[in-house]
């Protein structure tokens, strides 16, 4: 089930498929994982949850190192472009292709990692905030 629409749509498709097949949605891996996280956080007291929430905020905002890497490395390469070009293209070498593919792979993986880290931090923060709100009412 390949889709460019993202995880939210993939969850919808799996949920829809389970319902159409008459399967229980309670036993889907995604929801079991969420329930496990909720149970863990519900077992902690509110002051500990608040501390964890602060840590998650730091984690979510601290994952900004990857965008800095993504935006600064091209400038570094630009600064050394003449020596880099001489090295990569000397004597018909294919080093430029190896360098280009490696650079694009590292760049792509870094961006994916960055957004996954932010998404997981937001996921945990939302669960913690819901539990804290529920306890305050």
Residue 125 or residue 61, greater confidence = 125
Mean pLDDT for the stretch of residues 76-86: 74
For the stretch 57-78, what's the b/e string if a residue is b when 16 or more beta carbons lie within 10 angstroms of its beta carbon? eebbeebeebeeeeeeeeeeee
Short-list 39, 8, 15, CA closest to 29: 15
Asked whether the beta carbons of 3 and 9 are under 8 A apart, the reply is yes
**How much is the pTM?**
0.70
64 CB contacts (<8 Å, ≥6 apart)?
none
The per-residue pLDDT of the chain, averaged, comes to 83
pLDDT, residue 63, reads 63
């Amino acid at each position: 089930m390949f889709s460019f629409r993202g995880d939210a749509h993939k969850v919808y498709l799996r949920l829809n498929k389970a319902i159409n097949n008459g399967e229980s949605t309670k036993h889907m891996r995604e929801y079991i994982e969420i329930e496990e996280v909720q149970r863990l956080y519900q077992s902690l007291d509110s002051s500990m949850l608040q501390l964890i929430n602060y840590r998650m905020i730091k984690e979510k905002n601290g994952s900004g190192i990857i965008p800095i890497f993504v935006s600064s490395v091209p400038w570094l390469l630009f600064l050394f472009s003449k020596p880099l070009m001489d090295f990569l293209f000397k004597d018909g070498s294919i080093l430029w292709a190896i360098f280009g593919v490696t650079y694009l792979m590292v760049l792509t993986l870094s961006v994916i990692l960055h957004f996954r880290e932010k998404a997981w931090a937001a996921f945990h923060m939302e669960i913690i905030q819901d539990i804290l709100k529920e306890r305050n009412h």
